[in-house]
Amino acid sequence: MMKKKIIYCLLILLFNLHFPNQVNAEKNLDFYMNDFYTKSNEASQILKEIEGEIKAGIRIKVCPRQIKAAKLGILANESLIKAFQIAGTKPPSSAIKASKERWESLLNDCKNMN
């Protein structure tokens, strides 16, 4: 009877030691995925607004907003890479590299104009 209680206590202890780490990993994964989606959506929205304004002939503060969108896009990529690392999976390197190059190109276009 005493052995069963000890075994149960050990099982409960092991269970409690293992699953909090898994929950923390899931929280971190959720954090980075949410951060990726939030930042990439905000960056895309800024670029859509700029595009619409340029089509309408309005060119007010285009570069500062484009720089902001590019920086958000770069940060979003970094969050996505961290999420893949936490999940223990290999990120789609070519897609992430292409995205990073696109954001850096937008960033550099405006920096070179100033």
- The answer to whether residues 111 and 82 touch, using CB atoms and an 8 Å cutoff, is no
Query: What is the Cα–Cα distance from 110 to 46, expressed in whole angstroms?
Result: 15
φ, ψ (nearest 5 deg) of residue 89: -120, 160
**Domain around 103:** 30-113
- The answer to whether residues 59 and 50 touch, using CB atoms and an 8 Å cutoff, is no
Whether 99 is covered by a domain: the verdict is yes
Give residue 1's pLDDT: 52
The average pLDDT across 92-113 equals: 87
Whether 76 is covered by a domain: the verdict is yes
Whether 79 is covered by a domain: the verdict is yes
pLDDT in tens, 17-41: 444 444 455 688 899 999 999 999 9
Quote the number of domains for the chain.
1
